[in-house]
Amino acid sequence: MSSEATEETEATEATKSAPSSPDEMGVFGTFALFELGASWAELNGASRRVGAREPLEVIAAHTERVAVDGYLTVGLTERSHFLLRLHARQPEQSQAVIADLLRTRPGRHLTVRHTLTGVTRPLVYASQAPDQLQALQATEYAGGLPPRYAVVIPTRKSAAWWNLPEAKRLALMREHTAVGIEYLAKVKRRLYHATGLADADFVTWFETDDLAAFSALVARLRALREDTYNERLGAPTILGTARTLDELFTELAH
Amino acid sequence: MSSEATEETEATEATKSAPSSPDEMGVFGTFALFELGASWAELNGASRRVGAREPLEVIAAHTERVAVDGYLTVGLTERSHFLLRLHARQPEQSQAVIADLLRTRPGRHLTVRHTLTGVTRPLVYASQAPDQLQALQATEYAGGLPPRYAVVIPTRKSAAWWNLPEAKRLALMREHTAVGIEYLAKVKRRLYHATGLADADFVTWFETDDLAAFSALVARLRALREDTYNERLGAPTILGTARTLDELFTELAH
Amino acid sequence: MSSEATEETEATEATKSAPSSPDEMGVFGTFALFELGASWAELNGASRRVGAREPLEVIAAHTERVAVDGYLTVGLTERSHFLLRLHARQPEQSQAVIADLLRTRPGRHLTVRHTLTGVTRPLVYASQAPDQLQALQATEYAGGLPPRYAVVIPTRKSAAWWNLPEAKRLALMREHTAVGIEYLAKVKRRLYHATGLADADFVTWFETDDLAAFSALVARLRALREDTYNERLGAPTILGTARTLDELFTELAH
Amino acid sequence: MSSEATEETEATEATKSAPSSPDEMGVFGTFALFELGASWAELNGASRRVGAREPLEVIAAHTERVAVDGYLTVGLTERSHFLLRLHARQPEQSQAVIADLLRTRPGRHLTVRHTLTGVTRPLVYASQAPDQLQALQATEYAGGLPPRYAVVIPTRKSAAWWNLPEAKRLALMREHTAVGIEYLAKVKRRLYHATGLADADFVTWFETDDLAAFSALVARLRALREDTYNERLGAPTILGTARTLDELFTELAH
Amino acid sequence: MSSEATEETEATEATKSAPSSPDEMGVFGTFALFELGASWAELNGASRRVGAREPLEVIAAHTERVAVDGYLTVGLTERSHFLLRLHARQPEQSQAVIADLLRTRPGRHLTVRHTLTGVTRPLVYASQAPDQLQALQATEYAGGLPPRYAVVIPTRKSAAWWNLPEAKRLALMREHTAVGIEYLAKVKRRLYHATGLADADFVTWFETDDLAAFSALVARLRALREDTYNERLGAPTILGTARTLDELFTELAH
């Protein structure tokens, strides 16, 4: 599922979307899945509505250093209500946002049910395949913006994968990239390297308006030899719908 | 356990059962398993009875876009009380129903303990086996309507399965379909493709009045070579009994 | 661990123990493991004693259709207090008992932590081995009645098992049955087929006064080639002690 | 990890430590790991101190039939506070102690988070290796009494292990015993057979003052061919420190 | 992931950092991951601020015997708020700190969600590779002190690993050490042996200012043959940011 090759064109964008100035160094993405405890609903509606402004304020206070995007996951991802994706130059900056968030009135009812941290890196494989690199750079996502759906899929490769000769891995990734290119107009992707930072080697972030096409893409990727080296694929698969932070916390306050 | 071939005759019906007009595009099924917290039972009976009408109202408000069926799972599926199956053109529509449901009075005591989303697709294998296709179309479910029992079985195929040559997969699915046809009069089936949307490749939905026959069917399917490619089979297996939504929420209010 | 061969002599008895009249059709067994929440203990003793009569009443109301046996599991099976074994012509009848039970005063504090449903079937293997069949029918359980201990062991067979030629499976089961016959005087057994109804293929129910002999029996069974085809064996192993329902709920009320 | 050979010299002692008179039949060990709920700490100190005497009284009431030892596990074993090891002629006797314990004031806040039951048996392997038997009987534990630390390690053998010819198993266990003998002066051991009674084949109980030596012993055992047949090894590994019951419950009352 | 070779230069330091006088015997490290319950946040701010001094006092009372370091994990490690690393001559001393901590006002709201204990040992492999030993001793960590990030990665080796001839293991570890040396200036490491004390063989502790370099290091280690013998790698991976204890408990009091 890793899609190192298809990510290069977005590497710069990833850096941009972090509030600090873009540069060659990696941008860290932290994916935090939250569950809202039943005690929140026991507050009266007015308290909930007032309290729901607090997360917006604390996130705004970090806006120079951390870019935060929100997704509603309730009903589509078990035991969860929403996902935050945080981009920062340092994970400690994203951690500070989450710590502050948990101190707000709704935050006192939140549990971080799952969290993944990874880092964007310069392209590994596609840089050795100029034809694919060109195709990646020439193809743009053609769906609505922002896309309606986001999916997070963590993967862990087997030791056998990492022990392959690099040329072999390159050949396998070339097949992977070729499939990815076919779907670029319908499915945006971004890759984060997570080895050592989480129980995963990669966190792949997908955005799309067309979940049927997305499902077909992943099924195509599963038919590649590279997939035989995936020890973990999902677990969890996190599926959510895009929201502005204002929409998100307003919705949770209802 | 995937039964792509046996599903074709129902693909149209699936589209129909979604409130929006049927067409060639896929219908998304979301299967949400709910657990009702102990705090619900601490309310007095009158509060529970009044509150139990609210889910009916919020579901009705979405009826143009989302078809919802209910099943009582308590006692037959661990740590759960009921299952909702939601059909919509877009999972965000089903998510909206669940989000609204959780805001009702009983909803404040509900946890979404498990959730799976998949999409119906035009027949993949049976369309290449005209004789089986004809048999599928000629055989009708002959049990009572609605059937008393529903079973949800998610499956994940191994990488080896997806890496088989298509002709090989076709041959293996032909064996699968042949068994399915024998049981069509006793067991209704519908297949959802879930790759990338959940930690499963398929969600198979079964309905039957005859659970002994159903169990025999699944045992027959396990004896096929195709089953050796299943990495996940159930986990959970969700077993429930059919209810109208009115019956379901009345029962939970007791 | 499946013991299809050793079950034949009890098949009729299983039907009898269900309240409906015995016949050739299968009897469904539902095994529900309950955990009693800490909130129950916060009630005063009088409330608990009065409330503990309610389960007896609701179970009695179903006595024409569902036979219920109770076992105390606390301390011997993690996170549990008791197990109910329910026999009925239809699982929906057993479900109705559990749903009613959960509406009683102690029921409001109960969680169904694990549940398994299976169905008894006419003998598969032993009917092809007349000598073993005769031995099975000639040997009676010689321990006290009711036996002091019950053990539930769910098993899932591998795909390789189900893909064996039937003659091979028959030969392997013949070895299994031979061991079972040696222990029939000390260990009662009953087999339920659970494929498709739970994440197991078989639920084996054991009753004994002699747990050391029982443990030796299972160790003997593990030394058979058939055991190499078990993917799941226990997980959980449920161990409890027999109680009348009156004793069970009185004990829980203390 | 199973250490059948090294256990013989302690088999008699195991029987002795059970309150009933020692004899040839097995002694059952039940290992119950308890977690104390946060609600206990909400009581005032005086209530806790008074309440903490109740477990001592109920355990004393069973002293003729059940021998109980206590270990503090908090901080060294996740989500737990203490472990009880109960020895009895019958597990139902140990169950009665636990059931009574849960009815005491602190007991109302306790959860049995994990439990394992096994039975001591006459030596299987060492009895066929007279030289090792002699070494086992000639070597005594030379550390302080009672040893400061206790460790419980459940193991499950693979089907391949049980399907080995007995002579092969004997040879493999001879290697195991040889390592165990080297450490007998520093590490006490006792073996319980758990097949069919828990999701394990063996529960090994270790006591030592020297955890570094103990860790080296287990690492040595892992380097034996026998270890390649272990499917489960720990999960959990339970590590605690010895306490008299008086010390244990006094400490929990603070 | 085990890095026995790279640890030698730190072995002495480990002993020093324990409050008792350094010597040849091992130092035990206990890694305890804490989750703070929602009930803590329900206290008013003043109570929280006063209460948060108590952990500092109880930890100070043990300072002669136990060295404690603190890390904020909230947001970066699921379902957790902070990690304590405790160094002592005996794990019972570290346990005493944790037990006392849980008796403080914030402690009453804490759960020990995960805990690992291991022991430092004299170098096993590098002592047989004098050239690497020299390199290890000549290279110093060149990042800021204290490093901003800490990562705990438990690993369990397969039985196949332990059954390798020692010369083979030595050769594989030599490859491992060579990679580790390259990163010594950016990533500090310390190794704890945990076999028998936890469900792991090693606990590796990493500290760094440069998480991208750290992730690259672990990816390099995964490409070694030694990694093919890792059965467990992480699960959990614990990621946190360094805090003085004063900072840590002040932050949790907010």
Residue of A nearest to B160 (CA): A228
- Residue A4 pLDDT grade (very low, low, confident, very high; cuts 50, 70, 90): very low
Summarised one tens digit per residue, pLDDT across range D59-101 is 999 999 999 999 999 999 999 999 999 999 999 999 999 999 9
- Residue D149 pLDDT grade (very low, low, confident, very high; cuts 50, 70, 90): very high
Residue with tokens 């206790």: D150
Q: What secondary structure does DSSP assign to chain D, as a single string? A: ---SGGGHHHHHHHHHHSSSPP-SS--EEEEEEEEE-HHHHTS-HHHHHHHTHHHHHHHHHTTTTEEEEEEE-TTTSTT-SEEEEEEESSHHHHHHHHHHHHTSTTGGGEEEEEEEEEE----SSGGG-HHHHHHHHH----S-SS-SEEEEEEEEE-HHHHTS-HHHHHHHHHHHHHHHHHHTTTEEEEEEE-BTTBS-SEEEEEEES-HHHHHHHHHHHHTSGGGGGEEEE-SS-EEEEEE-HHHHHHHHH-
Residue of A nearest to B37 (CA): A38
Two tokens at D14?
A: 């195991």
Give the residue-averaged pLDDT of B123-137.
80
Interchain proximity A239–B112, CB inside 8 Å: no
Chains A and D make contact, 3+ CB pairs within 8 Å: no
Residue from A215, A227, A241 whose CB has the most chain B CBs within 10 Å, to mutate = A215
Chains C and A make contact, 3+ CB pairs within 8 Å: no
Q: For helices B130-138 and B166-183, give the axis angle rounded to 10 degrees.
A: 20
Is pLDDT of A33 > 60? yes
Set of chain A residues whose Cβ sits within 8 Å of the Cβ of E143: none
Find residue A168's DSSP bridge partners: none
Give the residue-averaged pLDDT of E179-186.
94
Set of chain D residues whose Cβ sits within 8 Å of the Cβ of C183: none
The pLDDT mean for chain A works out to 89
Set of chain D residues whose Cβ sits within 8 Å of the Cβ of C251: 99
Give the residue-averaged pLDDT of E152-159.
98
Set of chain D residues whose Cβ sits within 8 Å of the Cβ of E121: 212
Q: Which is catalytic among the residues E48, E89, E156, E189?
A: E189
- Residue E103 pLDDT grade (very low, low, confident, very high; cuts 50, 70, 90): very high
Whether residue E74 contacts residue A95, with contact meaning beta carbons closer than 8 Å, is answered with yes
> What pLDDT, on a 0 to 100 scale, did the predictor assign at position A140?
87
Chains C and B make contact, 3+ CB pairs within 8 Å: yes
> In angstroms, what separates the C-alpha of C212 from chain D's closest C-alpha?
7
Instruction: Detail the DSSP E strand segments found in E37-109.
Output: 66-72, 82-88
Percentage with pLDDT > 90 across chain C: 77
Contacts of B137 (CB under 8 A, 6+ apart): B8, B9
> What pLDDT, on a 0 to 100 scale, did the predictor assign at position B25?
54
Contacts of C217 (CB under 8 A, 6+ apart): C179, C180, C182, C183, C186, C187, D196
CATH of B5-16+120-240, one of 3.30.450.40, 3.30.70.3420, 3.40.50.720, 1.10.287.130: 3.30.70.3420
Set of chain D residues whose Cβ sits within 8 Å of the Cβ of C225: 163
Summarised one tens digit per residue, pLDDT across range A138-173 is 888 998 889 999 999 999 999 999 999 999 999 999
Set of chain E residues whose Cβ sits within 8 Å of the Cβ of A99: 72, 74-75, 251
Which chains border A (3 or more CB–CB pairs < 8 Å)? B, E
Interchain proximity C198–B234, CB inside 8 Å: yes
Active site residue B103: no
3-state secondary structure of B99: helix
More confident: A135 or C56:
C56
Set of chain D residues whose Cβ sits within 8 Å of the Cβ of C144: none
Is pLDDT of B75 > 60? yes
Interchain proximity B92–A149, CB inside 8 Å: yes
> Which of D41, D79, D218 is the closest to E195 by Cβ?
D218
Is pLDDT of A24 > 70? no
Residue from A2, A83, A111, A195 whose CB has the most chain E CBs within 10 Å, to mutate = A195
More confident: C205 or D128:
C205
Residue of A nearest to E205 (CA): A196
> What pLDDT, on a 0 to 100 scale, did the predictor assign at position C124?
67
The pLDDT mean for chain D works out to 89
> What pLDDT, on a 0 to 100 scale, did the predictor assign at position E2?
43
Chains E and D make contact, 3+ CB pairs within 8 Å: yes
Interchain proximity E112–D79, CB inside 8 Å: yes
CA pair distance E34, E48, nearest whole angstrom: 17
Residue of C nearest to B80 (CA): C112
Compute how many other C-beta atoms are within 10 angstroms of the C-beta atom of residue E130: 9
Summarised one tens digit per residue, pLDDT across range A172-191 is 999 999 999 999 999 999 99
Set of chain A residues whose Cβ sits within 8 Å of the Cβ of E152: none
> In angstroms, what separates the C-alpha of C233 from chain D's closest C-alpha?
8
Residue of A nearest to B95 (CA): A75
Q: Which is catalytic among the residues D189, D220, D225, D232?
A: D189
Set of chain B residues whose Cβ sits within 8 Å of the Cβ of A233: 199
Kindly list the domain boundaries of chain C, sorted by start residue: 17-119+246-253, 122-240
Interchain proximity E196–D77, CB inside 8 Å: no
Is pLDDT of C11 > 70? no
Give the residue-averaged pLDDT of D27-49.
93
| DSSP helix, strand, coil percent of chain A (3-state; round to 5) | 45, 25, 30
> In angstroms, what separates the C-alpha of A241 from chain B's closest C-alpha?
7
Summarised one tens digit per residue, pLDDT across range D184-217 is 999 999 999 999 999 999 999 999 999 999 999 9
CA pair distance D192, E88, nearest whole angstrom: 32
CA pair distance E64, E97, nearest whole angstrom: 12
Which chains border B (3 or more CB–CB pairs < 8 Å)? A, C
Distance of CA C62 to CAs C26, C92, D117, Å? 19, 12, 35
Residue of B nearest to A78 (CA): B114
A85: left (phi over 0), alpha (psi -120 to 50) or beta: beta
Percentage with pLDDT > 70 across chain B: 89
Q: Which residues of C are catalytic?
A: 189
Closest by alpha carbon to A155, among A231, A44, A47?
A231
Summarised one tens digit per residue, pLDDT across range D216-249 is 999 999 999 999 999 999 999 999 999 999 999 9
> What pLDDT, on a 0 to 100 scale, did the predictor assign at position B143?
86
- Residue D133 pLDDT grade (very low, low, confident, very high; cuts 50, 70, 90): confident
Rg (CA), chain B: 19
The pLDDT mean for chain B works out to 89
Check if B5-16+120-240 and B18-119+244-253 are the same fold. yes
Whether residue E178 contacts residue E210, with contact meaning beta carbons closer than 8 Å, is answered with no
Whether residue D91 contacts residue D117, with contact meaning beta carbons closer than 8 Å, is answered with yes
CA pair distance B169, A23, nearest whole angstrom: 48
Interchain proximity E195–D222, CB inside 8 Å: yes
| B169: Cα within 13 Å, side-chain hemisphere | 19
ipTM of the complex: 0.91
CA pair distance E103, D74, nearest whole angstrom: 12
Two tokens at A193?
A: 């390297």
In this structure, CATH architecture of domain A122-240: 2-Layer Sandwich (3.30)
> Which of C95, C162, C163 is the closest to B72 by Cβ?
C95
Interchain proximity C99–B74, CB inside 8 Å: yes
Two tokens at C208?
A: 């004994």
Q: For helices A166-183 and A130-138, give the axis angle rounded to 10 degrees.
A: 20
> In angstroms, what separates the C-alpha of C171 from chain D's closest C-alpha?
16
Q: Which fold does the domain A17-119+242-253 belong to in CATH?
A: Alpha-Beta Plaits (3.30.70)
Identify the contact set of chain C against chain B, taking CB-CB distances under 8 A. Answer: 25-26, 28, 30, 32, 37, 39, 90-92, 94-95, 97-99, 102-103, 108-109, 111-115, 117, 119, 121, 157, 159-160, 162-163, 193-199, 201
Residue from D33, D34, D39, D74 whose CB has the most chain E CBs within 10 Å, to mutate = D74
Q: Which fold does the domain D1-254 belong to in CATH?
A: Alpha-Beta Plaits (3.30.70)
Interchain proximity A95–E79, CB inside 8 Å: no
Residue of D nearest to C148 (CA): D92
> What pLDDT, on a 0 to 100 scale, did the predictor assign at position A11?
37
Set of chain A residues whose Cβ sits within 8 Å of the Cβ of B95: 72, 74-76, 241
Residue of D nearest to C221 (CA): D162
Q: Which fold does the domain B18-119+244-253 belong to in CATH?
A: Alpha-Beta Plaits (3.30.70)
Summarised one tens digit per residue, pLDDT across range B174-228 is 999 999 999 999 999 999 999 999 999 999 999 999 999 999 999 999 999 999 9
CA pair distance A107, B46, nearest whole angstrom: 32
In sequence order, which ranges of chain B are alpha helices (DSSP H)? Answer: 8-17, 38-41, 45-51, 53-61, 91-102, 130-138, 159-162, 166-183, 211-222, 245-253
Interchain proximity A228–B115, CB inside 8 Å: no
Q: Which homologous superfamily is C17-119+246-253 in?
A: Apc35880; domain 1 (3.30.70.1030)
Interchain proximity D222–E37, CB inside 8 Å: no
Whether residue C188 contacts residue C233, with contact meaning beta carbons closer than 8 Å, is answered with no
Instruction: Detail the DSSP E strand segments found in C160-218.
Output: 187-193, 202-208
Torsion angles phi and psi, residue E100, rounded to 5: -65, -40
The pLDDT mean for chain C works out to 89
Is pLDDT of E19 > 50? no
> In angstroms, what separates the C-alpha of A84 from chain B's closest C-alpha?
18
First vs last C-alpha separation in chain C: 37
Least confident range from A26-30, B10-14, C186-190, E165-169: namely B10-14
* Widest pairwise Cα distance in chain C: 61
CA pair distance B204, C234, nearest whole angstrom: 26
